[in-house]
């Protein structure tokens, strides 16, 4: 059977259905959460959209209280063994400057631009049409195939945790949410806030006897798994001190080669600095605006709490993506080095002051080693580590049948050797037995996931759909 020919016959329909999903701004939003929409109204709308498409195609569907849904096809009953394809419908916020509106899909030069185009709505529709092709082919299957639609992958994976409680585990499966050829290992993750224990920073700038400067607020970022692209701070103090500080900041911006500005008004200086966003699993690919602004401010004397906040954050995070200063660096041949990103940084004299860490550690390491060392290091500055969210590392042996099948599919479709990869990112694959990630990003291609002007190449989208169709068919008939 020519799987690619089947995709080509349906490509216009695929793009039309994908466009409808991309137009839904399905970001996590507790302000609109409620019954049957625990992740917010727009995420719920995206789930309803996919289940309506699934009903249209005659798949068995389920919506589990808005946490997740699925579309299933195959010869067995709903509780029989099945192969899982794990997708997610939520997206990160569409921050930054876009060439075209992020929720109005735009095709330019053979690429489809929109938030979610490659992470993960494009691959989701590719998998959906793959299952549609398998069904319409009439080919016999030994097992059911289930497309799982998650709703909280970009936040805390509450959807898939709920799924594991409510549903029978699949035999194996894949997530179309990473790279080709095959991602068979994922780093573990630690997500937590490191919070400053304040000892009294409510004094005004005029009452501060150290320098007359008072850090009134500091904010950077908003999503833990993204490198902050902008940071801002407010400093109060004597006019002559603020004017000198503003001039030094302008010189700092020029030396760093970064955009930014400072405004002086009513006894305050407002600082703004722009960095470069990137995925939290690759913090070295971005420029953390928050850490860059802190690195400037830390050389000046502020109130005691602010001084400790700036000193700790700068000492352990500035230009150190490997955790060396914290004493937690590690590395292995399967998944590479430990990485650490601070996606949210906040200081408020009368409120909470903290930095969030999104840490990814190799399969050779363990959170039981890492966390005590972080606590010891930041404790010197009066910080505490909140109870973390931990994801254990995941690794599938290269000889497992799921890998053998997907290698065969990839080799046939591309003519290239299907090397096994690892990732610092977290996918749903780590939540199921022997799960792996399979595409959609082809070797040598650039990904703008989590960044402005996110896109997926149309040829890559269609080729992925063809590969997913064959993979579903073969896995459903493989001896596992």
Ranges of beta strands (E only) in 89-156 are 106-108, 111-113, 144-150
Respond yes or no: is residue 179 known to be catalytic: no
For 454, counting Cβ atoms within 10 Å of its Cβ (0-12 exposed, 13-18 middle, 19+ buried), the class is buried
Q: Are 99 and 113 in contact (CB under 8 A)?
A: yes
Q: Are 339 and 282 in contact (CB under 8 A)?
A: yes
The answer to whether 14 and 125 have CB atoms below 8 angstroms apart is: yes
SS3 423: strand
Neighbour count for residue 34 (Cβ, 10 Å): 11
Residue 282 is among the residues annotated as catalytic for this protein: no
Give the DSSP H or E segment for 95: none
Dihedral pair phi/psi, residue 11, rounded to 5°: -65, -35
Cβ contact 24:114 at 8 Å: no
* Residue of 17, 90, 274, 282 marked catalytic: 90
Instruction: Catalytic residue, from 153, 282, 314, 460: name it.
Output: 153
Burial of 325 (0-12, 13-18, 19+ CB in 10 A): middle
Planar angle of CA 139, 470, 120, nearest 5 degrees: 125
The first and second tokens of residue 122, run together, are 């494009």
Could you tell me if 275 and 227 are in contact, meaning their C-beta atoms sit under 8 angstroms apart?
yes
Closest by Cα among 207, 176, 181, 167 to 69: 167
Q: Which residue in 235, 243, 244 sits closest to 208, CA to CA?
A: 235
Residues belonging to the active site: 90, 153
């Amino acid at each position: 059977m020519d799987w690619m020919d089947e995709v080509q016959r349906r490509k216009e329909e695929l793009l039309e259905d994908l466009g409808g999903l991309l137009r839904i701004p399905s970001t996590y939003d507790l302000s609109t959460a409620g019954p049957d929409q625990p992740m917010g109204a727009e995420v719920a709308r995206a789930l309803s959209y996919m289940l309506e498409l699934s009903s249209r195609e005659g798949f068995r569907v389920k919506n589990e209280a808005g946490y997740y849904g699925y579309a299933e096809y195959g010869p067995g009953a709903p509780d029989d063994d099945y192969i899982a394809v794990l997708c997610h419908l939520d997206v990160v916020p569409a921050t930054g400057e876009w060439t075209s509106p992020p929720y109005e899909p735009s095709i330019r030069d053979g690429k489809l631009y929109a938030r979610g185009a490659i992470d993960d709505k494009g691959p989701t529709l590719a998998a959906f049409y793959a299952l549609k092709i398998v069904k319409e082919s009439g080919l016999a299957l030994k097992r059911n195939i289930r497309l799982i639609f998650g709703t909280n992958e970009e936040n805390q994976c509450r959807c898939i945790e709920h799924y594991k409680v409510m549903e029978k585990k699949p035999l194996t499966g894949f997530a179309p949410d990473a790279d080709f050829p095959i991602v068979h290992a994922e780093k573990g993750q630690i997500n937590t806030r490191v919070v400053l224990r304040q000892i009294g920073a409510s004094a005004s700038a005029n009452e501060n006897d150290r320098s007359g400067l008072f850090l009134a607020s500091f904010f950077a970022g908003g999503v833990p798994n993204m490198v902050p692209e902008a940071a801002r701070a407010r400093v109060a103090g004597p006019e002559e001190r603020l004017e000198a500080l503003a001039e030094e900041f302008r010189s700092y911006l020029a030396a760093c080669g970064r955009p930014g500005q400072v405004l002086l008004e009513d006894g305050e200086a407002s600082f703004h600095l722009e960095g470069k966003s990137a995925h939290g699993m690759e913090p070295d690919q971005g420029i953390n605006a928050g850490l860059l602004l802190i690195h400037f401010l830390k050389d000046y004397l502020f109130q005691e709490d602010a001084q400790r906040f700036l000193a700790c954050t700068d000492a352990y995070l500035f230009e150190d993506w490997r955790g060396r200063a914290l004493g937690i660096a590690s590395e292995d041949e399967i998944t590479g080095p430990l990485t650490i990103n601070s996606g949210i940084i906040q200081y408020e004299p009368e409120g909470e002051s903290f930095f969030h860490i999104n840490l990814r550690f190799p399969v050779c390491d363990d959170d039981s080693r890492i966390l005590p060392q972080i606590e010891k290091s930041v404790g010197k500055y009066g910080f505490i580590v909140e109870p973390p969210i931990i994801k254990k590392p995941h690794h599938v042996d290269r000889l497992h049948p799921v890998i053998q099948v997907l290698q065969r599919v990839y080799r046939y479709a591309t003519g290239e050797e299907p090397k096994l990869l690892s990732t610092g990112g977290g996918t749903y694959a780590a939540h199921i037995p022997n799960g792996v990630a399979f595409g959609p990003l082809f070797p040598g291609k650039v990904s703008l996931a989590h960044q402005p002007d996110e896109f997926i190449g149309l040829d890559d989208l269609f080729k992925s759909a063809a590969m997913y169709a064959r993979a579903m068919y073969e896995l459903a008939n493989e001896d596992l």
